Structure 1
Amino acid sequence: MKNTVLNILVCSVFLTITAKAQHTMKTNDVTQIAPEVIFTKMLNTPEIKNQEVKLVIVTFAPGEISGAHRHPIPTIVYVLEGSIETTFDGKVTRLKQGDTFWEDPNGLHTEAKNLSPDKPAKLLVYFIGDKEKPFLIPEKK
């Protein structure tokens, strides 16, 4: 009985922390799973001044369609797993594992759709820009 109560308590704490972390991230209005920043570095060299680089993993649940959004900084996408269909500034593009995609700053990314009904799709996204600029802004509804 003690083990069961302890397991329930541990799971409850974990779920509370996870829910709070997802709730505080402002970008979770775009995909079901909040983007995961896996690398951040400030660049301050003679050639590149005060720019921040971010690598972000974006995961799409099976069949998921993202909400409309913009990236105020240059964006490069690499498809790690699965295939997606993306609509950026009115142009529809299909991407599969190993494909890349460029997004100009502030363009309207109407949606991205995971084409698989039963497998997730994962993207590695590279951002570079001013540190104070967010990498993702959900489009107002």
Structure 2
Amino acid sequence: MSFKRKIILTLLIFVTTTLHAQQYAGKLKIEKLVDTTVNSIGQKITYPQFKDAKVTMAKITFPPGETTGWHKHLIPVFSYVLEGTLTVEIEGHQPAEYKKGASFVESYDTYHKGTNKGDTDVVLFVVYLGGDGQPLAVKK
């Protein structure tokens, strides 16, 4: 198995695991966060082929009123809302709201922007599957 595939497999097990806690020692609690073959706007999930694969994990904090600005991803991106409610506007689609505890697979090659319309911080945990110098996001 290639190194890239091992990284992707490891990440997918972490993010979308279907294993049950009894397969581990102790009293671990494993909750499935995402279990899908499509992203937030129904696009089939695919993984790009990179010579030098790279995984980036980030914690992103949106103060009240802050936005990402319009951008798109050319790589798979997985998000989990740690705090607050994020509003995501997507070109050609209805806006979506993701509250604390929500997980979603971001749209691919489609411009969108995330905004904190609340009065407390929104905090996301985000995983990007990229490589070969591909940017994490492309601004409009």
TM-score category (smaller protein): 0.5 to 0.7
Contact 2:85 2:99 in 1 (8 A): yes
- Deviation, 1:46, is 6.1
State the one-letter code of the partner of 1:101.
F
1:94 equivalent in structure 2:
97
The Cα offsets for residues 16-41 of structure 1, whole Å up to 9 and x where unpaired, read as xxxxxxxxxxxxxxxxxxxxxxxxxx
- List structure 1 runs of 4+ shifted beyond 2 angstroms: 45-50, 88-91
Larger Rg: 1
CA distance in 1 between partners of 2:68 and 2:4 (Å): 36
- Deviation, 1:115, is 2.5
- Deviation, 1:138, is 1.6
Structure 1, unmatched stretches of 5+, are: 1-42
**Which structure has greater strand proportion?**
1
User: How many pairs are equivalent?
Assistant: 95
Matches within 5 A, 1:1-141: 44-45=3-4, 50-91=52-93, 92-109=95-112, 111-117=113-119, 119-139=120-140
Contact 2:4 2:53 in 1 (8 A): no
**Which structure has greater helix proportion?**
1
CA distance in 1 between partners of 2:101 and 2:5 (Å): 33
- Deviation, 1:136, is 1.5
Question: What TM-score do you get using the length of structure 1 for normalisation?
Answer: 0.59
Question: What TM-score do you get using the length of structure 2 for normalisation?
Answer: 0.60
CA distance in 2 between partners of 1:75 and 1:62 (Å): 23
State the one-letter code of the partner of 2:114.
A
Contact 2:74 2:109 in 1 (8 A): yes
CA distance in 2 between partners of 1:122 and 1:45 (Å): 28
Structure 2, unmatched stretches of 5+, are: 9-50
